[in-house]
A and B are shown apart, each in its own frame.
Chain A
Amino acid sequence: MAKNNNEALKQPIWVNNPVVVQILGICSALAVTAQLKPAIVMGLSVTVIVAMSNVIISLLRNTIPNRIRIIVQLVVVAALVTIVSEILKAFAYDVSVQLSVYIGLIITNCILMGRLEAYAMQNGPWDSFLDGIGNGLGYAAILVVVAFVRELFGSGKLLGFQIIPQWCYDHGYMNNGLMIMPPMALILVGCIIWIHRSKNKDLQEK
């Protein structure tokens, strides 16, 4: 289990990406990627929460009774998310309004439970922290790529700024409405998985 520290951080970003390889967190990847801004915010929030809950579970890992470990993990995540949400409401109200439903969505994000169960239960706090950061960033990276494509072609904007110039519309260009719909996110994630597999031959199923 003595994995190199660097590996714990770097692996999940591309080679062992939580979304395209572990297939975790697909549901929220569909929900928040219609625009770039919520995607970035969600990616960063998940990174922070995964890292923090990984550390807590990793510290507790030797005391947690095996039969109720999932519940313990869930309680830690839920408590953490609630506290972060309360603190945001008190000290950064604007951010909390923007996050609105997403902060609650973090609790149900499978990446959290997946990493807690698969990594933090077996590894030390520092490794778990890096693993959390790595997985969070890997998740954020996919979200940003998908949201970039969806917002650019779905609304002609990036981060709310008009990118596709008006003369394109004058010449008959139209925004692709399908891009904003959740199914398109699934198709895009599929395309990313396709590219990813073609670059990483050892992941291809025979």
Chain B
Amino acid sequence: MATKKFKCKVCGYVHEGNEAPEKCPMCSAPKSEFEEITEADAAPKKKGIDTSSNVYTIIYAAVMVILVAFLLVFVSSTLKERQTANVINDTKAQILSALNIKDQADVAAAYASTIKADMLMQADGSLVPYDGEFCTGYSAEYDANRLHVFEAEVNGQTKYVIPMNGLGLWGVIWGYIALDEDRTTVDGVYFSHASETPGLGGEIAAPLFQSRFPGKIVTDNGKVALQVVKFGKADKNSPFQVDGVTGATITSTGVNNMINKVLTSYLPFLNAK
């Protein structure tokens, strides 16, 4: 004997039996909300193509993937040039930011007038001009042992900017440190990060943390002496210690390790006076 089917109009629950249940087991709707489904309704309305067939599914997936792939390639290739220009501009703005030149309307012009040369440090600490394209990722440059130093002139004084890379808590962190002509006094710093916690590790990118650096001394007796210590532990009279970010000990340690690692590689330059 064929059982009848009843569909709940509220939630779509289908009940099989001779009559509709008193109460829908899914949504507690009363019996009156049920309606009988006759076979004609239950059978899918075949209009055009059967969307659940294997062939249709495979063709649909293939077409979709190809269309989306072309779309993405098109978008990516048309915007590539603008994006690269933006990244270069942003990198220049970061370098200028370490020299305390911030919020420039025309970054490229400010960079051209401030940064006199993009140099590479040699093993003996001397600088030779770098003649390649302007770099935007200094992590790879560091790994390839091409140690960049930017020579800048701000208000008639020579400054040096060194790019730095390291690891924070969740991902990479990077920054630039600007030194005075004596190659030991910090003029300014810039830090940024890929994915540190906002409000905690992310604060390394904030002015408050970066304002603790200017005037500090980088090297002592030929070794890197600049340290980022746990918040509140920095000796106020020490020219080498800087307070970390409160509540972000691991990111602060990351900044400390980054400064230490990178500046150690630059020691020949820092000690050559």
List A residues at the B interface (Cβ < 8 Å): 32, 34-35, 38, 62-68, 71-72, 75, 79, 82-83, 86-87, 89-91, 93, 97, 100-101, 150-151, 154-155, 177, 180
Contact = CB atoms under 8 A, between A and B. Distances in A.
B82 A67 contact: no
B79 A101 contact: no
B71 A89 contact: no
B90 A93 contact: yes
A180 B82 contact: no
Contacts, number: 73
B72 interface: yes
B136 interface: no
A97 B90 CA distance: 10
Given A91-B82, A100-B194, A68 B199 contact: no
Give the size range of B's interface with the partner. Answer: 20 to 34
Contacts of B200: 34, 180
B156 to A, nearest CB: 31
B237 to A, nearest CB: 24
Interface stretch (B56-64, B138-146, B178-186, B264-272): B56-64
Given A66-B51, A67-B57, A75-B64, 16 more contacts: A34-B197, A35-B198, A62-B51, A65-B52, A65-B60, A67-B52, A72-B60, A79-B68, A86-B83, A90-B82, A90-B83, A93-B86, A93-B90, A100-B195, A101-B194, A177-B247
Contacts of A71: 61
B72 A83 contact: yes
A77 to B, nearest CB: 11
Contacts of A180: 197, 199-200, 247
B65 interface: yes
Interface string B131-163: 000000000000000000000000000000000
A3 B239 CA distance: 69
B52 A66 contact: yes
A63 B60 contact: yes
B75 interface: yes
Nearest to B248: A180
B86 A89 contact: yes
A159 B75 CA distance: 33
A89 B83 contact: yes
B76 interface: yes
B199 A155 contact: yes
A83 B73 CA distance: 10
Nearest to B170: A101
Given A65-B57, A71-B61, A83-B72, A154 B194 contact: no
Interface in B52-105: 52, 56-57, 60-61, 64-65, 68, 71-72, 75-76, 79, 82-83, 86-87, 89-90
B200 to A, nearest CB: 6
Given A65-B57, A68-B60, A75-B68, A32 B79 contact: no
Contacts of B79: 86-87, 89-90
A91 B85 CA distance: 11
B148 to A, nearest CB: 22
A65 to B, nearest CB: 4
Nearest to A79: B68
Given A34-B198, A68-B61, A97-B90, A87 B51 contact: no
B32 to A, nearest CB: 20
Question: Nearest 8 CB-CB pairs, A to B?
Answer: A34-B199, A90-B79, A90-B82, A93-B86, A65-B57, A34-B198, A79-B68, A89-B83
15 contacts: A34-B198, A64-B60, A65-B52, A65-B57, A66-B52, A67-B52, A68-B57, A72-B64, A75-B68, A79-B68, A86-B79, A90-B83, A91-B82, A101-B194, A151-B199
Contacts of B71: 79, 83
Given A34-B198, A154-B199, A86 B76 contact: yes
